[in-house]
Amino acid sequence: MDAREIFKSLTCGAKFNKKPQNEIKRKLKEEPDVKTTISTKRVKEEKQNDEIDFQLLSGTQDLQSSKKKKKKQLTPEELSKIREDERISKLRKDNKISVIGNKIPAPIEHFDELCSLYSVDTKVVDNLASCKYTVPTPIQMQALPIMMTGRSLMACAPTGSGKTVAFLTPIIRDLKAPQKNGFRALILCPTRELAKQTYQECVRLTEKTGLKIHVISKVDKADETFGVKSKQMCDILISTPNRVRFLIQQEPPALELKSIEWFVIDEADRLLEDGKDNFKEQFDDILKACTNPSRKLALFSATYTVPIAKWAIKNLKNLIRVTIGQQNTATDQVDQELLFVGSESGKLLAFRELIRTGLKPPVLVFVQSKDRAKQLFNELLYDGINVEAIHADRTQQQRDNIVKGFREGKIWVLICTELMGRGIDFKGVNLVVNYDFPSSEISYIHRIGRTGRAGRRGKAVTYFTQNDTTNLRSIAHIIKKSGGNVPEFMLTLKKAKKSDKKMLAASAPRREEISTVVKPEKQDPGQFVKAPAKIKKKKRKGGKKSEE
């Protein structure tokens, strides 16, 4: 007899009513609460049955209490570990800190923890306090413990979020006191201006520690001021890559990097970018010269490209990656606007309108080349505003004076090229004007990041003409991602071809001269004008490298 036949004979004469199921369905429709009542009841019943079953099996044992006991079996250490992990996760979540890597140290919440947990000299924490840095920013919360445990780091945090302090403090902690062993830390920056600014911050943070810092300004005086033969051996070197490479390649070398313990690359995506006019070759040579086997490397930037991240993953042992917020997004501290100005001549009208309606200095104005910086400067010179222009054709002395004048408020409007796009921290810039449309999303993020720094809000206006459609869609998306409003049509524009974007990033489009004398536009909209061979050659020579 099979199971079916047994069932049939046992239930012989019995009637099965299907109604209850339908009844339940109907009731569910009429009173939604019934569902919960029924399911709760069922669970309760099942529990009771379970309990009975287990009682039968185990005699007098109560399953519920045994389950509870199992939960309670965690040791106090395990419990406190769980609680600590929860606290750390919450801290990271609240501060938008994402981390990738093994055994990542917990973020700190107060600078004082640096003394108790990482034996940082109280003098250094006092120096942070005297700079009015009372609470660590999210990148500082996470990057400081990572670097202080000797791990390699790739950090990505928004513009103006305090990355400089995040890499300087661990260096100062590790070097402790001066030693006459040559440079033990090297910081590379893409421009002289940024190197100087980092030097000034480093001087402030090393006060009373005795550590000596050097920023290379004149390569010809290297030997006597800080070189191998110098008695004035320094501990921390801050420079642009070109100068460091020049000195290590002298015969005999004017600079040795064999004692380097920390190698920090600020604006890492810019310095590791491959290509003719870029710094990757210099970087590779410098890295080879840092022969100390215990040398650690840290990369910092507000933006990263995929090849750079791949390079870091492949080349850095024990790497931890930290991102604050979303990668490659503009700071949410800036109110951003895209302004259609028709044609090139419309830009000048728009800027003069801005002056007429009340310009709130300090203002930074970005143009795409030094020639255009000169042209705009000549136009605005007689408009009754204190205006200056900074670009690679200015002498170092002039550049230093202009930066100083802008910092001191003597210059209200500073016209600049990409040279000032990255890293420069002018306190309290109220407005950034992208007079010429940025050549890439990355350029846009850094340029507008010159305002809205250290918790202060800022404003950015980007002019665009009928010829600036290539990057319009992607920049509109960046604005939207950082919380700004953009017209819907911009977000749904046709995606630009990769080749067009690449071409634009490599060389800016030719534009009509900046002048009040209105000239007809010569080129077709959206067309790139190839530079004649001679000009091209000249551009390369003094091209991107001349950012220095």
Residues that bind ligand ATP (CB under 6 A): 133, 135-137, 140, 157, 159-165, 302, 423, 425, 427, 449, 453-454
Closest to ligand ATP by CB, 105 vs 160, is 160
State the minimum distance, in angstroms, from the CB of residue 449 to ligand ATP: 5
State the minimum distance, in angstroms, from the CB of residue 374 to ligand ATP: 26
Contacts of 49 (CB under 8 A, 6+ apart): none
Asked if 248 and 257 count as a contact pair (C-beta separation under 8 A), the reply is: yes
State the minimum distance, in angstroms, from the CB of residue 316 to ligand ATP: 20
**Distance in angstroms (rounded) separating the CA atoms of residues 319 and 63:** 47
CA distances to 165, 311, 452 from 456, rounded to whole Å, are 18, 34, 5
State the minimum distance, in angstroms, from the CB of residue 201 to ligand ATP: 7
Closest to ligand ATP by CB, 79 vs 135, is 135
3-state secondary structure of 541: helix
State the minimum distance, in angstroms, from the CB of residue 131 to ligand ATP: 6
Closest to ligand ATP by CB, 110 vs 208, is 110
Asked if 197 and 424 count as a contact pair (C-beta separation under 8 A), the reply is: yes
Closest to ligand ATP by CB, 205 vs 289, is 205
Q: 3-state SS of the chain: helix, strand, coil percent to 5?
A: 45, 15, 40
**At 270, which amino acid appears?**
R
Closest to ligand ATP by CB, 18 vs 132, is 132
Closest to ligand ATP by CB, 141 vs 363, is 141
Closest to ligand ATP by CB, 163 vs 192, is 163
Closest to ligand ATP by CB, 122 vs 130, is 130
Give the distance, in angstroms, between the CA of residue 129 and the centroid of all CA atoms in the same chain: 24
Q: What is the DSSP letter of 479?
A: H
Give backbone dihedrals phi and psi of 389, rounded to 5 degrees, phi first: -130, 135
3-state secondary structure of 213: strand
Closest to ligand ATP by CB, 5 vs 94, is 94
State the minimum distance, in angstroms, from the CB of residue 163 to ligand ATP: 4
Residue 189 token pair = 């920056």
Closest to ligand ATP by CB, 423 vs 509, is 423
Q: Which helix (H) or strand (E) holds 298?
A: strand 296-301
State the minimum distance, in angstroms, from the CB of residue 139 to ligand ATP: 7
State the minimum distance, in angstroms, from the CB of residue 158 to ligand ATP: 7
Exposed e or buried b per residue across 125-134, where buried means at least 16 C-beta atoms within 10 angstroms of its C-beta: bebbeeeebe
Residue 177 token pair = 């006191």
Asked if 457 and 333 count as a contact pair (C-beta separation under 8 A), the reply is: yes
State the minimum distance, in angstroms, from the CB of residue 243 to ligand ATP: 20
Asked if 167 and 143 count as a contact pair (C-beta separation under 8 A), the reply is: yes
Q: What is the DSSP letter of 529?
A: P
Question: Angle of helix 138-148 relative to helix 163-175, nearest 10 degrees?
Answer: 30
**At 306, which amino acid appears?**
V
State the minimum distance, in angstroms, from the CB of residue 439 to ligand ATP: 18
Residue 320 token pair = 């931890």
